Chains A and B, each alone.
Chain A
C-alpha cells in the first residue's frame, strides 16, 4: 500500500519572500519552497517549524502555489505560541517545512456549480481550489462556475469590495466579495455576524441554504460542496449537504505531531459503509467526505 507513497513529501528550508500583517493578527506569508510548490494541490498542507525554539511543527493549509516561480502562500492567524513566534519571522528568514502533505480535494469531474465554503483560517484552501477550478474551466466544455462563500468573525484578511458578478439566490444587498477571486472571474460573497458592510448577516450555511433553496431540483443536481473551517461550521456544512443530498468534501484540522502517518496522533472518527474507523487527518485526509466525518444523526466527535 505504501510503496507508491515513497518520497512524496519534501523537507525544505524555505526562505520567507513576503510576510504581510493583516487585520486582527492575521498574516500572509509567501515562502520559496520549489519542491512543495511543484506538487501542491488544493487541500495540501505543509508542516512548518515556526521558530527554532519550538521544534514541534504546525500544519498550515496552502493558499496558493506557483510551481513556475517556486513559491507557496499561507494565511494564518496568531493563536498560540507557534504562530506568535511565526509572526516575528522576517523576509529572508529560513523556515523548515515538510510538504506537500495530504489527500487533496478531488481534481476533476466537477459538477458545474461547485459551492466552496471557507470559514476563518479555512479560507486558504478554498482560494487555492477556486484558482485551480477557474484555470481548468477554460479547458472544459460547458465550464465550471464556482461560487465561494467565506465567513469570518474578525475582519477579513483582505479588503472586501462590492462584486460586479450577480448571483441568483443571494440577497441583493449582499455584495461584498474577495477581490482576488473576482479578478479571476470567480463569484464570491462574504458572511459575518459583525455587521461588516456588504456582508451577509449570519453564518455561511445560512447564505448557502438561501442559494440552494432558490434553485430548482435540476440546478441543485449540479452543485457539489467543498469546505474548510472551524469544526462547528464544517459540521453544519456537511449536514446542509446531506439535507439537500449533495456531495460534499470537507478539509479537517487536528493537532498533529509527525504529519506523515507515523504517530496516529491526528486520527479522527470516520464512518464508511456503516463502519467506524479512526483515520489520520494528515495522510488519510485532510479531505474527507462530509457525510463520513459528520453523518447526520450519528455524531461522535
Chain B
C-alpha cells in the first residue's frame, strides 16, 4: 500500500500535483499570503490559483466587498490586481515553485485582452493558465462571456492559439446549460475544467435599505452552494468523461466528506476556497481524511474515487416497478 503522499499525488494535465487539492483564485492572493499562517504550507496542495489578473492594473470595487450569509458569503472584489506584467515581473519570481504548481487566473473585458494576458503568462514560469470566463463581478467582463457557451469557447480558442501551457476554463453556474458550455470549451482546446465559480447573490441591510455589498451584488461561496456545485460537477463529468478532460470540482468544499463527494461525482482535483477562511489549516485535515478513507477501504490511490458514483434508479417506472 503506498504512503499518504503517494496515495494523493496525481497527474493533472501533465503537471505533478502533491495532492488533489487546489487553492482557488481570489482566496489566496498571489500565492504567498497564507504562508503567513504557522502550520500552513503550499506543499499540502497540488496547485495554487493566483488572483484574477487583467492586462491593466485594477483598483477593484468600493467597500463593502464581502458580506456573510447563511452558510456562506458574498464577495465582490472587482478583480483588484496590479496587471499581468507586474504579476509576472514582480510576483512570480518570489514564489517557491518547489512547493507546488502555480496557476495564473486570467480575465479580460475583450477577447483581445484575454489573449494578451495569456501571452504574457505564457512567457513566464507559471505552470498553467485558468481562464476566468465566469468572473461574475465585472459588468463589461466575465459574465457576458461565461454565460454564453459560444462566447466562452471563443475566449478559450483565442487563448489556446497563444499558449501551450495547460488551459483550464472556469465555468459559471449562472447560465442555463453548463454542460453545453463545458463541451464547447473542450472543443475549443481547454485541457481541464473548473466547476463551478460563485453563484450570483445579494444581501440587504434593512436598516439602511441598501445592499451590503458596495457594488450591490456579489458571488456566493461557501457550503451554501455545495449541492449546486456537486450536481454541476456530476453533470459535466457525465457529459465529458469520454474526452478524459479532468475537472477541478469546487464550490463550498470544507471537509473530507465534501471532497469525497466531489471525487465520486467526477472531480479529479478539489478546489478549496472559502473553507480556508474558516480554517487556514483545512487542507492538511482534508488530506489526512482522504487517506484514512482510502486506507479503510483498501482503495490505494485517490484516483480510484474519481467518478466512482453509483447512481440510484430514479423513478419507480425506471426500475421495473408499478
Contact = CB atoms under 8 A, between A and B. Distances in A.
Interface in B8-58: 26-29, 32-39, 51
Bin the interface of chain A by size: 35 or more
A7 B279 CA distance: 15
A185 interface: no
A278 B59 contact: yes
Interface string A1-34: 1110111111100000000000000000000000
Bin the interface of chain B by size: 35 or more
A256 interface: yes
Of B60, B66, B94, most A-chain CB atoms within 10 Å: B66
B37 A7 contact: yes
A258 B277 CA distance: 5
A2 B36 CA distance: 8
Of A6, A258, A266, A301, most B-chain CB atoms within 10 Å: A258
Contact of A267 (B32, B36, B63, B254): B63
Contacts of B278: 49, 55-57
B38 A10 contact: yes
Interface string B217-233: 00000100000000000
B112 interface: no
B32 A11 contact: no
Contact of A278 (B32, B35, B60, B277): B60
Nearest to A54: B68
B32 A2 contact: yes
Contact of B279 (A3, A8, A96): A96
A256 to B, nearest CB: 7
Interface string B236-277: 000000000000000000100000000000000000001011
Given A56-B277, A255-B64, A9 B59 contact: no
B281 interface: yes
B277 A2 contact: no
Interface in A250-271: 254-258, 260-269
A66 B74 CA distance: 37
6 contacts: A55-B277, A260-B37, A263-B26, A265-B65, A267-B77, A277-B59
Interface of B: 26-29, 32-39, 51, 59-60, 62-68, 73, 75, 77, 80, 94, 222, 254, 274, 276-281
Which 10 pairs from chain A and chain B are nearest by CB?
A2-B32, A265-B66, A55-B278, A7-B38, A261-B33, A262-B33, A262-B28, A262-B29, A257-B277, A265-B65
